[in-house]
Amino acid sequence: MGGWNEMRERVVLWEDDAVLAVDKPYGLSVMGERHDTDLITMAADDGESLQWVNRIDKVTSGVVLLAKTKAAHAELTRRFAKRTVDKSYLAICRPGGFATEATIDLPLLTAGSGRVRVAAERGDIRFDEAAARWHADGDLLPRKNYPSTTECRALWDDGDDVVVLAHPVTGRRHQIRVHLAWVGHTIVGDPLFRPKSAPPAPRCHLHSLALSLDGPNGRIDVRAEPDAGFWDPVAGRLDPRELLQAV
């Protein structure tokens, strides 16, 4: 992988004196990795002090926003807390048969095992066709839960697989991954939902595509299109360039 200074040239999408936006590779943590390297530590080791603003999972690739100063970090995190940031993700899910447009409105909680799950029983999850909305039709589990909403649009669907454009309205841990799996369309290669007997997948096909928000020095609009390997599950069945022109 090399050091930060070497990687920096490849991954920087946008930069000013307060903010850095990068295209994080799959398999690299943003920060806090115990037994391996992470992006923040790599930068620090090469003399650059950065603070993460949006922290995507290690298995997720794509846009990450980093602050160069404490003041910029405070301002940007307030934007995320107030939900004034437009976030777009791409996910390749299986099976297909996804609604053309739908909202997943399912609260989340952290179970005793530490895993994030929907705060309802699977049998209580319903899809309201008139409202194009997944919701829990029944009592929620008697634990602290967090309202969580993801807006989704199917960009391509052949019945076997579907490419979903996801806009998380809230920003809960593992939100997109859990929401899509619990409504029956698990992200291909997601280790959270891989059967114990199954071999590890090459990667999880979830990608942070774009961020748009007001930054300390003006508007920030960044986009990182996925690498070729992201499209492997649907290779030969769609043209990624054509698909992304409509996004």
Digit-coded pLDDT (tens) for 129-172: 999 999 999 899 988 999 999 999 999 999 999 999 999 999 99
Which residue is listed with tokens 């107030």?
Answer: 82
Digit-coded pLDDT (tens) for 182-196: 999 999 999 999 888
Residues of the chain predicted below pLDDT 50: none
- CA gyration radius for the chain? 18
For residue 118, the surrounding DSSP H or E stretch is strand 116-118
Rounded CA separation 53/64 (Å): 8
Q: How much is the pLDDT for 200?
A: 85
Q: How much is the pLDDT for 34?
A: 67
Q: How much is the pLDDT for 152?
A: 98
Based on the residue annotation, tell me whether 23 is a catalytic residue of this protein. no
Among 176, 232, 236, residue whose Cα is nearest residue 202? 232
Per-residue tokens: 207: 């990608």
Q: How far is CA 63 from CA 19, 21, 104, in A?
A: 13, 7, 23
Q: How much is the pLDDT for 37?
A: 86
3-class SS of residue 180: helix
Rounded CA separation 206/189 (Å): 9
Using CB atoms within 10 A of its CB, is residue 75 exposed (0-12), middle (13-18) or buried (19+)?
middle
Catalytic-labelled residue, pool 36, 45, 57, 214: 57
